[in-house]
Amino acid sequence: MTLICGIEEAGRGPVIGPMVMAGVVIEQKDEQKLKNMGVKDSKLLTPMQREALFDRIKQSVIRYKIIILSPKEVDDSLNDPSMNLNWLEAETSVKLIDKLNPDEAILDCPSTNTNAYRDYVKTRLEKKIKIISEHKADVNYPVVSAASILAKVTRDREIEKIKDSINKEFGSGYPSDPRTIEFLDKNYDRYPHIFRKTWKTYQKVIANKKQKGLMDFK
C-alpha cells in the first residue's frame, strides 16, 4: 500500500486575510475515486461545487490537515531576510508532510525552479520520502486537486468570518478587486489585523496617506 499526499495552497496573493495550505493523503490506487467524485482543480469548480465536495473529501481520504497562516504570520515570514513567500509555502509543506506521514508527496510548486523547491523540502523532512514538485500539479493529480478544494473552501470561509466580525463587505481581498482597494483605502488603520502589511498594495496606501498628510502642512 502506497500512501500519497497532495499539498496545495489558497490565498497566496490577497492583501486581506490568511493563506491556507492543505494536505490530503490517499492510497495511490484510490485516485480514480476522487476523479469519480468530481474532484478537480478548485479554480475549475464553482463555490457551490467546492462546498459540496469539501466534506466528501474529508470523509473519503485516509487523513488530511489544514494550516491557516494569518496575515501576521505571512508578514513575519516576509520580514525575515532569509524567507520569502515560496519558502514559507515550502516550510508549511514540510509541516504537513511530517504530520501526515505519507510514502510520497506531490507539491504544486510556486517556484520557477521546481528542482530547488523539491530539494529544499526534502532536506527539511523528518522522514525522507519521494517528493514530486510540479507546476499545475493541482490540474494533473487528483490528490492535489482535493487538497486545493480543502484549502480554497477554508480560505473562503475565513474571509466570510472576517466580514462578519467587522460587519463590512470588502470583496475578494485581492488587489485586483476594486472593492478591496476601496475598502483598504478607507479602513487600513481601522482593522490592521486583517491586512498583509508587507504587500505593496498596502504600503502604497500608507505612502499616499503620509504624502497627503505632509501636503496638509504646506
Q: What is the pLDDT of residues 135-156, one digit of tens each?
A: 999 999 999 999 999 999 999 9
Q: Mean pLDDT, to the nearest integer, of 164-181?
A: 97
pLDDT (average), residues 165-170: 97
- Number of structural domains (the chain) is 2
Q: Where are the alpha helices (DSSP H) in 68-177?
A: 71-78, 85-100, 114-124, 137-140, 142-166
Mean pLDDT of 175-200: 95
131 and 174 both lie in a single domain: no
pLDDT in tens, 41-83: 888 899 999 999 999 999 999 999 999 999 999 999 999 999 9
pLDDT of residue 97: 98
Same domain assignment for residues 157 and 188: no
Q: Give the range of the structural domain holding residue 183, as residue numbers without chain letter.
A: 168-216
Q: Are residues 102 and 148 in the same domain?
A: yes
Domain end among 123, 147, 164 = 164
Same domain for 179 and 102: no
117 shares a domain with 174: no
* Same-domain pairing of 147 and 196: no
- Asked if 8 and 98 sit in the same domain, the reply is yes
Residue where the block lists cell 483605502: 185
Q: Are residues 103 and 186 in the same domain?
A: no
Mean pLDDT of 164-184: 97
Helix (H) or strand (E) holding 31: helix 31-37
Same domain, 74 and 159: yes
Q: What is the pLDDT of residue 41?
A: 85
Among 165, 193, 168, CA closest to 183: 168
- Record the pTM: 0.94
Residue 46 sits in the same domain as residue 134: yes
CATH of the domain at 119: 3.30.420.10
Which of 129, 135, 143 lies closest to 98 in space, CA to CA? 129
Q: Is the pLDDT of residue 214 over 60?
A: no
* Amino acid at position 185, single letter: D
- Tell me what pLDDT residue 217 has: 46
Residues 110 and 127 occupy one common structural domain:
yes
Is the domain of 118 the same as that of 182?
Answer: no
State whether the Cα torsion 142-147-153-159 is positive or negative. Answer: negative
Q: Is beta strand 63-69 parallel, antiparallel or unpaired with respect to 19-27? A: antiparallel
**CATH (domain of 178):** 1.10.10
Instruction: Check if the beta carbon of residue 5 is closer than 8 Å to that of residue 129.
Output: no
Q: What is the mean pLDDT of the chain?
A: 94
